[in-house]
Amino acid sequence: MGNQLFGEASKWVYRVTEASKGTGSKDDSLAAKAQNALSSAYANSTTAEKRQLRELQDQLDQIK
């Protein structure tokens, strides 16, 4: 079984990304959930997962 926290983080970043497409801006509530999920996943991840989580963080940071 994969890292469940990693999956949750990915899901929340996806939700923020999709929501921003409709409004052109980041939903702060969704972004906070995504950030929390990323932090939790990072603490419990492998080196390869950490690299992917950094990419997700970069993606989240790019949304205005």
Residue position matching structure tokens 């939700």: 15
pLDDT at res. 61? 94
Residue among 15, 5, 3, 64 nearest 39 (CA): 5
pLDDT at res. 1? 41
pLDDT at res. 2? 62
Helix axes 28-43, 47-62, angle to 10 degrees: 160
Q: Domain residues for 33?
A: 4-62
d(CA 18, CA 38): 17
Read off the amino acid at residue 60. L
End-to-end CA distance of the chain: 34
Number of domains the chain is built from: 1
Run means of pLDDT, 10 residues per run, the chain, 64 residues: 85 94 86 96 92 96 87
